[in-house]
Amino acid sequence: MTGSIIWSLVLAIHVLCMTYWVGGSIYSTLVVRSTVGLLDPGPRNSVLLQGYTRFFRGLYQVVPFSLLSGWGLIFHEGGFGAVAWPVNAMQLLGLVMAAVFILTVQGPFRRARRAMRPQQALFDTLRSRTAIMAGLGVLTILVAAMARGI
Q: Which of 135, 137, 129, 103 is nearest to 21 (CA)?
A: 137
Distances (CA, A) of 59 to 19, 68, 104, 145: 11, 14, 12, 24
The confidence score (pLDDT) of residue 80 equals 85
The confidence score (pLDDT) of residue 1 equals 46
For 88-148, the DSSP string reads HHHHHHHHHHHHHHHHHIIIIIHHHHH-SS--HHHHHHHHHHHHHHHHHHHHHHHHHHHHH
Q: Is the dihedral of CA 40, 41, 42, 45 positive or negative?
A: positive
Q: What is the pTM of this model?
A: 0.88
Q: In tens digits, what is the pLDDT along the chain, a chain of 150 residues? A: 456 889 899 999 999 999 999 999 999 999 988 888 888 888 888 899 999 999 999 999 999 999 999 999 999 888 888 888 888 899 999 999 999 999 999 999 999 888 888 888 888 899 999 999 999 999 999 998 887 665
Give the containing element (helix H, strand E) for 43. Answer: helix 41-76
